[in-house]
Amino acid sequence: MTITAAADGSALGNPGPAGWAWYIDDDHWAAGGWKHGTNNMGELKAVLELFRATNGVDDDLLVLCDSQYVINSVTSWMPGWKRRGWRKADGKPVLNVELLQELDEAIAGRRYRFEWVKGHVGHELNEAADERARAVATAFQRGAGPIPTGPGFGPVNGAPATVRAPAPEVPATAPSPSLFDLADGTAGGRSVTVELAADEWARLEQRARRAGMSPEDLLRDLAARG
């Protein structure tokens, strides 16, 4: 099965009030945004959140996108940026690097392809994503009214998607697991408790596998680096 989704961003003034959205159908979409952002930020965030939302499924993902910047970033430019320490060929820092790094993590191990679609020409899925991204940007611009966030991801076409085995969830009533201790060599060592949702744990496991570490060791390493 292939999940087909459109992803789009909108910034009023660019930069200005900004929104992002991904859209599969009226029952499966999500949106969000910021009080101040750029169109490219919205485009990247839409694709990032689409991959995050579908992280637990084992289906191919077809991303319809009207942003050549996003498509080229993921399919052409990113390997070179990473080799140069997230710098462009001219040595200047890559823009939107945090979103790009998060997207780099989110696409690891996924089966996907991008398809460019021309914006604002009546493409049904693209128009639906654009409408929702713009609605968020408009809500931030007006400073009033709820931000439309959407129902998120769930069963598609009346049936559940092919789901990978989920990470175990900690019951809400159970005490939070102690994942790592930060010992400082004294009797007053610090103990840190971390609560992770199932999708967060899945992303942590994915990142740990790429680093050749256990999730707990990865957390210790991240904590040690501050």
What single letter denotes the amino acid at residue 162?
T
Question: Phi and psi at residue 53, in whole multiples of 5°?
Answer: -65, -35
User: What is the pTM assigned to this prediction?
Assistant: 0.70
104-154 pLDDT per residue, tens? 999 999 999 999 999 888 899 999 999 999 999 999 999 977 899 999 997
- 120 included as an active-site residue: yes
- 43 included as an active-site residue: yes
What is the spatial distance between Cα 5 and Cα 63, in angstroms, rounded to a whole number? 5
Domain ranges of the chain: 2-142, 180-224
Catalytic option among 9, 33, 37, 150? 9
CA distances from 105 to 99, 177, 201 (A): 10, 25, 13
Residue 171 CB coordination number (10 Å): 7
CATH superfamily of 2-142: Ribonuclease H-like superfamily/Ribonuclease H (3.30.420.10)
Asked whether the predicted pLDDT for residue 30 surpasses 50, the reply is: yes
With beta carbons less than 8 A apart as the criterion, state whether 152 and 41 touch: no
What is the spatial distance between Cα 60 and Cα 62, in angstroms, rounded to a whole number? 7
